[in-house]
Each structure stands twice: as structure tokens, then as C-alpha cells.
């Protein structure tokens, strides 16, 4: 899975990747360290977001995404 993410990011000339998973979804969260490490090895930034699929987390996610975009510039 990690190498697929890296390949797809590189194919579209991305400088970073945003991952999202449902909070407390352990099967997906367990995969994220390998994805993060593979992206880092290729010089790609990674932002991991966790949410509970409610409107309450949208503002926080928006702020984190905006900061991530600024960092990439």
C-alpha cells in the first residue's frame, strides 16, 4: 500500500499527500507509519487527518490543511 501511495503521488508531481481515516479505525491507522516513512524517503510531505465524520472536525481539518499547503510553498 505504501509504495502505491508514493507511486501515485509521484505520477501527478505532488509535493505532499493528505491522508484521512476515521478516528479509532485501527486497521487503517496501523498502516500509516509505513506510508509516512515511504513518503519521507521520497521527499514527500505527509499530513494525517483523523475524524469522526461529524461537522465538528471540519474547522480543525481546514486549518491543518491550509497550514500544510503553506508549508509546501
Which domain CATH number covers 47?
A: 3.40.50.11900
> Can you tell me the distance from the alpha carbon of 72 to that of 15, in angstroms, rounded to the nearest whole number?
7
Over range 23-46, report the average pLDDT: 91
Domain that holds residue 15: 2-72
Read off the pLDDT of residues 47-70 as tens digits, 9 standing for 90 and up. Answer: 999 988 778 788 889 999 999 999
Read off the pLDDT of residues 8-28 as tens digits, 9 standing for 90 and up. Answer: 999 999 999 999 988 887 787
Count of domains observed in the chain: 1
Between 32 and 54, whose confidence is greater? 32
> Can you tell me the distance from the alpha carbon of 41 to that of 17, in angstroms, rounded to the nearest whole number?
13
Amino acid at each position: 500500500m505504501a509504495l502505491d501511495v508514493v507511486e501515485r503521488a509521484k505520477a501527478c508531481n505532488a509535493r505532499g499527500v493528505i491522508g484521512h481515516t476515521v478516528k479509532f479505525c485501527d486497521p487503517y491507522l496501523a498502516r500509516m507509519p509505513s506510508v509516512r516513512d515511504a513518503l519521507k524517503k521520497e521527499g514527500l510531505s505527509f499530513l494525517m487527518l483523523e475524524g469522526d465524520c461529524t461537522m465538528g472536525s471540519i474547522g480543525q481539518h481546514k486549518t491543518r490543511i491550509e497550514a500544510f499547503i503553506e508549508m509546501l510553498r
